[in-house]
Structure 1
Amino acid sequence: MNYLYLLIGVLSLLGKAYAQAPTIAVFTAGMAKQPGYLPFYWDAQKGKVYLEIDKFDTELLYYPSLASGIGSNDIGLDRGRLGTEHIITFQRNGPKVLMVEPNYQYRAISNDPLERRAVAESFAQSVHWGFEVTAEEGNRVLVDLTPFLMQDAVGAVQDISQSRQGSYRLDPSRCAVYLPNTKNFPQNTELEVIITLTGDSPGGYLRSVVPTANAVTMRQHHSFVQLPDAGFKPREFDPRIGYFGIEYFDYATPVSQPIMKRYIARHRLEKKDPSAAVSEAVKPIVYYLDPGTPEPIRSALMDGASWWNQAFEAAGYRNAFQVKLLPPDADPMDARYNVIQWVHRSTRGWSYGAAILDPRTGEIIKGKVTLGSLRVRQDYLIAQGLVGNFETDTSHVGEMMQMSLDRLRQLAAHEVGHTLGLPHNYVASTQKQASVMDYPHMVAKLKGARIDLSDAYTKEIGEYDKWSIIYGYKEFPKGADEKKELNSIVQQMHAKGLTFLTDQDARPEGSASPATHLWDNGANAVDELKRVTLVRMKALKNFNEKKIPAGTPMTTLEEVFVPMYMFHRYQTEAAAKVIGGVNYSFALRGDGQPVLSPVPAAEQVKALDALLTTLDPSFLTVPDAVLKLIPPRAYRYDPNPREVFKRHTGLVFDAMAPAEAAAGMTLRLLLNPERCARLVQQKLFRRNEPSPLSLTYVLDRLIRQTYTPWEQTYEGEISRMVQRKVLEQLIQLAVDKNAHGAVRAAAHDGIMKIKSLPAVPANSFTAWLIRQYEQNPDQVPLTSPQTPPDGQPIDPGQEWLQPDCEWIR
């Protein structure tokens, strides 16, 4: 009984304490109030922010972001990076207010509240924070928002750890509210804080960008945004035309229909005159360019981003897509602005197109483009290698700069396209450069004795891009069957010879589509490789000391030389996909598209011929003149190791390293385990064809091509190096327990063929290596491969959900 009285007493005291909470007016006396969407108060004496809440059980949007980053592409904590959006509600629970996120991945689109409740109670929600009520007045309460603001909301600690840059933690004593960017508006509340992470054993990436690497200080932004009204109509996704978006399970769906619902991401756009074929928009889509972007880059970016207005005109809108300069007093993190931001890093890296969506509908709330500033310097460097000839300090500078600006125009259009909801379309380069959502390689043409860059990049929006915007944004007449109208748009697009394939079809080195690749050109990958090879030959022949201005250390010639020597790398990768390649589409039943067919054997043989050419010693040699031009590194001109060839020769340029890197690349592509498995199985798809290309045929050709005797010359040394690389690649394939069994058997047979060649003496290194394979295949002492210097982003532009990927949510 005594315990019961004690409990009653405690509860009574708690009730009195709760009932005696001060009023908001009394508690906030002397504080600076910021009225707006979520009113808040600034307590200057304590350095705290108090949030006034009266919107209980009302859904709103919350997302964190980085107002200032750390400047490392490898770590990825860039200025302006958006975090994940969350729909949240504030729920009162006695003396607490919980910040709750409902689970919109699982729904019941039903008028029956019990059916909706059954789904809601079947899956977990997320409580992001619990606040103690500090003061209250009527239906309003006050909570201390400061601890919530000071958390590592963007996951910076995790990013630093995953990039192996050290073990860090948030230090609250070094965090504070950043008042200049803490503001309130009628439909959004924006709060910013300084956060500091402390840790030990910082990695090289971190040390290179932080003044004192044990203390990493950034500014983090928090946005609370009023959700859009119910006037937005979601649009269904079609896999034949690319769009990002939302997807969820709808458990109210009849069993005869798919439970997974997919909708595209798009901005809200409506015609002023729905009956007009072309009309102005009720509210145009406006993107704002970072005013910190210098000229002439600023004008190029505004021009390229504005290309999208051509696509919206095709969809029936006049001047509905606009690009303006961000006002000097505007905050780029403000949810009201779609922003193209110019971001600096210590090394070249990817650019991004990101978006904040309404998770309920797929409506785009904010588009955000991040453009890395060093990308233009990489483009200029490539132009320098192709056409540079510094007779004077200004010789050809205009031509090189023009190509670089043309690339930036295309890049701006590309990244804005991501924020409009569009993924990559890597098949577009084979369809007359039909989309800016492809990754373009500069089109360098031979005109007599010179290389011409006047048509290096497209200068307008692509035809596929217009159809994608028509699909996403066209308004249909009242009463029209939208599904039929959308299907008609896709069919019209197909009738123009335009299709869609994306990252999953292009990025893996072993991928099967012969038309889908990054940084390639041309309707035929093999023909384009032959053309690119001629450009490369001319670039190497023309390479001399005049590729750098007078007074520049000769050692820096190597950075200009690398992309010229490796000029064929991406087209080689594209041509490799023809071997064992399969043509396919994202066909729907009954839409008339070809579904799947292997590449004809004659085309595959043509591709094999072209790839074997890239292994020829005459192709792989570095010109004698170049070998005499690159000295060891000058003092304080240490190279970025990613931008130069790795070497076995210490400070001295390694004449074999470029050839080893290039040959290793071709062999890795040709003998990719997945590609080899498709070669093994091609006969299953070609039962009526007498002689499909086989893996045995490919290996026989490879061995015959490379195992030929050479004299003791530079070319001969390259030939012997290539022979070793062929053997090592075959051994790796034969011992790969994850490879197809028939692939391992074919690789073994290839090794035995090499063993039996007259050109392989019994006491040679090759014979010794084969004996090691025969005696203990899992322990063969293979040489570590010399890999090429980093290529991507050759003209940076990141992809979706990749470390370098572009549309980020």
Structure 2
Amino acid sequence: MRRFYLLLTCSLLTGSTLFAQAPTPAPASTTTIDAFTKGMERNPGFLTYYWDAKKGKVWLEIDKFDTELLYYPTLAQGVGSNDIGLDRGRLGQEHIVKFQRSGNKVLMIEPNYAYRALSNDPLERRAVEQSFAQSVHAGFEIAAEENGNVLVDITPFLLQDAVGAAQDIARTRQGNYRFDATRSAMYLPMSKSFPQNTEFETIITLTGDQAGPYLREVVPTPAAVTMHQHHSFVQLPDSNYKPRLFDPRIGYGGIEFFDYASPVSQPIMKRYISRHRLEKKDPNAAVSEAVKPIVYYLDPGTPEPIRSALMEGTAWWNQAFEAAGYKNAFQVKLLPPDADPMDVRYNLVQWVHRSTRGWSYGASIVDPRTGEIIKGKVTLGSLRVRQDYLIAQALTGSFGADTTQKMANDPMMTMSLARLRQLAAHEVGHTLGLPHNYIASTQNRASVMDYPTMLATIKGNAIDLSDAYATGIGAYDKWSIRYGYEQFPKGTSEKQQLNKLVTDMHKAGLTFLTDQDARPEGSVHPATHLWDNGANAVDELKRVMDVRALALRNFNETKIPVGTPMATLEEVLVPVYMFHRYQVESAAKVIAGQTYTNALRGDGQPIVATVPATEQKRALDALLTTLAPSALAVPDAVLKLLPPRPFRYSPNQREVFKRHTGLAFDAMAPAEAAAGMTYRMLLNPERCARLVRQHALDPSLMGLDDMLNALSKQVATTTTGATYLQAINQQNERLYVDALIRLASNKETDGSVKAVVHNALTTMSQRLTTAPKSSQSAYLRWAIGRYFDDPDQISTPATMSPPDGAPIDPGQAWLDPSCDVH
């Protein structure tokens, strides 16, 4: 099941009993399978198939009817663009299917497992089955049969855009494409049959026009986009697996379904977690080896020293399984030369290349009936390590006259490999069933399932990255694996044991909050954020600003090797200048923030509380420092090192600051991007609405007018000294006015917020009327006047956004644009 967790969601595919099969009708074909397939290549396995080379067709022999199996498509060879999302190895949605015969036709039917009755009464189960629709994925004419087996042409089903690549291209506005059967064919080298699964691969071509820039960047001829798509038919696990119930206080992905056999007094929605099957050889032993260990295999195409780092980080999970009472139950190995990565028996960590840096993913193939993980699949983007290296280079790099760097002694590579270990552990964690836990960074780095940024500290007059990333599995991760995999002694109540485990975790000071709590810019909890550090968001912002200031003071031409064009220094400047970006977002959540837990009635956890007024005030004061012209100015010494780009060194536009100045570096652009980011976070419509509400409920708490007064005072302060700083201050004032106008004219903004903002704009307009005449005051009066004249038709200049930041750390598994997310 895909688990790519922007929002955390899960499929509602689940299990049910089979329909009773009517008696098989008389044979519709007198041709035997042996006679029909004479001269064809036979491929025995889970599903036996024949290859007709003369006609380019695949004939499938069906020997079992009404037997459930798992089907899912995969993108075997991708497009290579992170923005489009069509990556090598991307898993499609699972489907439970069965073959059902009717006369001379065979239907491939998917029962509706989102609705079922967990009952021993067949009539009760049938009532639910007959109440909801099923899906027929394909219909096949029988060409031959023999001894109860039938032969059908499965080629038309295989030759289709099974992963929805054309829709993804359209969704990302990269053109209008459609499947072209004349340019598509079977791909035999990767079509195989194994004991537990049968695999078919196809060469699929989409043709179209109006190709967008992302697509043109990676396709040799944009009018034809050719990729390899894969179809997997997999044997389902036996019925000996016992599902485990979900608890919202500890993170697990899984399945959900409606159980119509539930007593009226009990919830009809049932939730199971996703996990691998793991059992002790000795159930009575406190520590035991596993009957069948969980083994992950690393793509041998991964180069050293990255390969060793990924294997080490993946192996960290054995620490968690040891805490759950297992010995050597989790293992990592290099995929053997004679093993096929398509074989469902191999959990795989795959190294994938794209044209730009992008997300990594941890996905799983899951039995939709029970939540059992059948196969884990990790996709790691190869360019991510280069971004980590670039950040380390920006903070600590100092290239001398020697143009070579010995990797073994390179502290920047040392940090990058530390990051890769953490990344491998993170993505594998998703394939073990775990979602993100974004509160863990405030609990002493308690989980690899958080998104940590590198911890940079000041040592003397230099920046130190020796403790950039934690080593080993986190404390929360051990509790979560215990919840999912610990085997309890016979005679004990599993429900009681699991509840005690969660209670003990809380006593240890550990909690769980995930994507829905952290990703939205207007989210509430001040301790849940991506790529932050520290127990307190405000204190960490102050510390990060100190690190950033030192890094900017130390920034010079030694950040790039000798022989590198000076203009490329801008790519290295970006992560230094924007080093505070995620901590700004984290600190902004303190304002009108609320602390809360996923409390259950009676469990003793704190439920919800508003952040104290003093802490909200500290957060606002810290955020105002990020708007100070002295903090936003690019040092003069750095500006003198940034010439226009040389011939054939055009930058990736998303990796550098946007500009209004053509080829010349725009000294105002970084300040606009950084200040605009702070305004966007502070003036988020949801945060502003909460400010109004909290002040109404408790006048001692900050109100929206309090925050706007502080911001107005900040931008109205006249900057003395350098003209550059004055220009930044004036730019800040313009950005602030534009942000207020956008907030007030936004149709989704709460009415009480609009009233406060309208009043703030009125006060500002009055102040500008009596201010000394200048082009700045005249422009602002004009802009505010246009808003007053017709707020519904007002448009404001777009604020330049910062260069891309994410992904700089763990991937976003469990966040799938088409499902969820993890």
Report TM bin, short chain.
Answer: over 0.9
Which sits farther off after the overlay, 759-768 or 239-248? Answer: 759-768
Does residue 738 (structure 1) correspond to residue 748 (structure 2)? The answer is: yes
Does residue 200 (structure 1) correspond to residue 209 (structure 2)? The answer is: yes
Which sits farther off after the overlay, 40-49 or 260-269? Answer: 40-49
Q: Distance in 2 between matches of 1:108 and 1:678?
A: 43
AA matched with 2:784 = I
Q: Paired residues, what number?
A: 791
Q: 1:420-569 residue pairs with structure 2 within 5 A?
A: 420-569=432-581
SS at match of 2:452: coil
The Cα offsets for residues 193-214 of structure 1, whole Å up to 9 and x where unpaired, read as: 1111111221111111111111
Aligned position for 1:3: none
Aligned position for 2:701: 692
Q: Distance in 1 between matches of 2:349 and 2:397?
A: 31
The correspondence for 1:300, drawn from 309, 312, 316, is 309
Does residue 716 (structure 1) correspond to residue 726 (structure 2)? The answer is: yes
Does residue 149 (structure 1) correspond to residue 158 (structure 2)? The answer is: yes
The Cα offsets for residues 14-43 of structure 1, whole Å up to 9 and x where unpaired, read as: x99964430101101111111111111111
The correspondence for 1:747, drawn from 736, 748, 757, is 757
Aligned position for 2:789: 775
Question: Residues 384 and 45 from structure 1, CA distance in 2 versus in 1: closer, same or farther, beyond 3 angstroms?
Answer: same
SS at match of 1:562: helix
SS at match of 1:466: helix
Q: Distance in 2 between matches of 1:103 and 1:755?
A: 62
Aligned position for 2:20: none
Aligned position for 1:408: 420
The correspondence for 1:263, drawn from 234, 254, 272, is 272
The Cα offsets for residues 513-557 of structure 1, whole Å up to 9 and x where unpaired, read as: 000000000000000000000110011001111100000001100
Aligned position for 1:7: none
The Cα offsets for residues 606-657 of structure 1, whole Å up to 9 and x where unpaired, read as: 0000000000100000000111101111110111110000100001000000
Q: Distance in 2 between matches of 1:584 and 1:409?
A: 31
SS at match of 2:91: coil
Aligned position for 2:322: 313
Aligned position for 2:16: none
Does residue 673 (structure 1) correspond to residue 685 (structure 2)? The answer is: yes
Q: In the TM superposition, what is the alpha-carbon distance from 1:804 to its structure 2 partner? A: 11
Q: Is the 8 A contact 1:248 1:260 kept in 2?
A: yes
Aligned position for 2:233: 224
Which sits farther off after the overlay, 399-408 or 70-79? Answer: 70-79
Aligned position for 1:127: 136
SS at match of 2:331: strand
Which sits farther off after the overlay, 265-274 or 199-208? Answer: 199-208
Question: Residues 622 and 358 from structure 1, CA distance in 2 versus in 1: closer, same or farther, beyond 3 angstroms?
Answer: same
AA matched with 1:271 = K
Which sits farther off after the overlay, 369-378 or 742-751? Answer: 742-751
Higher relative contact order (CA 8 A, sep 6+): 2
Unaligned runs of 5+ in 1: 1-14
Q: Is the 8 A contact 2:274 2:432 kept in 1?
A: yes
Aligned position for 1:647: 659
Q: Is the 8 A contact 2:194 2:343 kept in 1?
A: no
Q: Distance in 1 between matches of 2:587 and 2:28?
A: 76
AA matched with 1:651 = L
Q: Distance in 2 between matches of 1:437 and 1:455?
A: 18
SS at match of 2:118: coil
Unaligned runs of 5+ in 2: 1-23
Question: Residues 463 and 16 from structure 1, CA distance in 2 versus in 1: closer, same or farther, beyond 3 angstroms?
Answer: closer
The Cα offsets for residues 408-429 of structure 1, whole Å up to 9 and x where unpaired, read as: 0000000000000100000000
Q: In the TM superposition, what is the alpha-carbon distance from 1:710 to its structure 2 partner? A: 2.9
Q: Is the 8 A contact 1:21 1:134 kept in 2?
A: no
Q: Distance in 1 between matches of 2:406 and 2:42?
A: 59
The Cα offsets for residues 711-758 of structure 1, whole Å up to 9 and x where unpaired, read as: 571000000000111111111111222111111111111112212224
Q: CA RMSD in A?
A: 1.6
Q: Is the 8 A contact 2:399 2:560 kept in 1?
A: yes
Q: Distance in 2 between matches of 1:807 and 1:334?
A: 26
Q: Is the 8 A contact 1:390 1:396 kept in 2?
A: no
Q: Is the 8 A contact 2:295 2:333 kept in 1?
A: yes
Which sits farther off after the overlay, 798-807 or 181-190? Answer: 798-807
Aligned position for 2:42: 33
The Cα offsets for residues 438-464 of structure 1, whole Å up to 9 and x where unpaired, read as: 000100010001110010001110000
Which sits farther off after the overlay, 676-685 or 497-506? Answer: 676-685
Q: Is the 8 A contact 1:387 1:396 kept in 2?
A: no
| TM-score (normalizing by structure 1) | 0.96
Question: Residues 239 and 16 from structure 1, CA distance in 2 versus in 1: closer, same or farther, beyond 3 angstroms?
Answer: closer
Q: Is the 8 A contact 1:80 1:333 kept in 2?
A: no
AA matched with 1:405 = L
Q: In the TM superposition, what is the alpha-carbon distance from 1:795 to its structure 2 partner? A: 2.7
Aligned position for 1:334: 343
Aligned position for 2:647: 635
AA matched with 1:732 = R
Q: Distance in 2 between matches of 1:804 and 1:715?
A: 46
Aligned position for 1:9: none
Q: Distance in 1 between matches of 2:74 and 2:797?
A: 45
Aligned position for 2:285: 276
SS at match of 1:633: coil
Aligned position for 2:5: none
Q: In the TM superposition, what is the alpha-carbon distance from 1:329 to its structure 2 partner? A: 3.4
Q: Distance in 2 between matches of 1:610 and 1:396?
A: 41
Question: Residues 476 and 776 from structure 1, CA distance in 2 versus in 1: closer, same or farther, beyond 3 angstroms?
Answer: same
Q: In the TM superposition, what is the alpha-carbon distance from 1:684 to its structure 2 partner? A: 5.1
Q: 1:38-49 residue pairs with structure 2 within 5 A?
A: 38-49=47-58
Q: Distance in 2 between matches of 1:155 and 1:147?
A: 16
Question: Residues 806 and 541 from structure 1, CA distance in 2 versus in 1: closer, same or farther, beyond 3 angstroms?
Answer: farther
Q: Distance in 1 between matches of 2:406 and 2:544?
A: 22
The Cα offsets for residues 318-339 of structure 1, whole Å up to 9 and x where unpaired, read as: 0000111112233323222110
AA matched with 2:173 = R
